[in-house]
A and B are shown apart, each in its own frame.
Chain A
Amino acid sequence: EIVLTQSPDFQSVTPKEKVTITCRASQSIGSSLHWYQQKPDQSPKLLIKYASQSISGVPSRFSGSGSGTDFTLTINSLEAEDAATYYCHQSSSLPWAFGQGTKVEIK
């Protein structure tokens, strides 16, 4: 089974700062890595698909990169509304897996 490990677990950031979250897979998953944003008491929302593909309606400050085992979610110029927990998810092979989440707090 593939295990996804995110880092850091928690990040406190000032507005307009750049945020970088990494997700490492225990084996190569190609580009089958997706990112979600979950705000308190809300369902997860798809942010980035297949490592770097943008999603309609998602602000352009969100971007993704990587392939194989190492992936990155970048939030350029953080805004207050970006306070949330971010999860990566692999769909390369069953069983699907999620990372443990990275909570982003606004200072």
Chain B
Amino acid sequence: QVTLRESGPALVKPTQTLTLTCTFSGFSLSTSGMCVSWVRQPPGKALEWLALIDWDDDKYYSTSLKTRLTISKDTSKNQVVLTMTNMDPVDTATYYCARMGNWGPFDYWGQGTLVTVSS
């Protein structure tokens, strides 16, 4: 079965760089049409799409955050990594990774990881 799991620090300081890892199983990111995205959700607020990487290693980013984000994949390890630079308290959120096939819906989600930005 398909599973995704996010991992990374629970607490980061302002101006630091956040690195999150999504480890997945049950599918391959080298399969044509397969994609993995990152989505975040500040406490009590709506979902916000951040970034996507596809089977062909094409990468796409949120317009408002593109200068701070980098997404990459390690197909052999079944992992997708997201880095976000210059963290600020407003970046406090639960960060999810999710699978998308053929540019469709997010059909599987990780359980999410809460990242708090505070000094």
Q: Are A43 and B112 in contact (CB under 8 A)?
A: yes
In B89-107, which residues have CB < 8 Å from any A CB?
96, 98, 100, 103-107
> Could you tell me if B49 and A95 are in contact, using CB atoms closer than 8 angstroms?
yes
Q: A43-B96, A101-B47 are in contact. Are A91 and B104 (CB under 8 A)?
A: yes
Chain B binding surface, main DSSP class: strand
- With CB as the reference atom, state the residue of chain B lying closest to A94: B60
Query: Are B49 and A34 within 8 A (Cβ)?
Result: no
Complex contact A89–B106 (CB within 8 A): yes
Total number of A residues with any Cβ neighbor in B under 8 Å: 22
- B47-A44 in contact (CB<8A): yes
Bound: A36/B41 CA distance, A: 14
A46 with B106: CB separation less than 8 A: yes
Which residues from A are CB-within-8-Å of B118?
Answer: none
Please tell me if B63 contacts chain A, counting CB pairs below 8 Å.
Answer: yes
Interface centre among A1, A96, A101 (most CB of B within 10 A): A96
Give B residues with C-beta under 8 Å from A. Answer: 37, 39, 46-49, 52, 60-63, 96, 98, 100, 103-107, 109-112
A-B contact pairs, 29 of them (CB 8 A): A32-B103, A34-B104, A34-B105, A34-B106, A36-B47, A43-B110, A43-B111, A44-B47, A44-B96, A44-B109, A46-B105, A46-B106, A46-B107, A49-B104, A49-B105, A49-B107, A50-B104, A50-B105, A89-B47, A89-B105, A89-B106, A91-B100, A91-B104, A95-B49, A95-B61, A95-B63, A98-B39, A98-B48, A98-B49
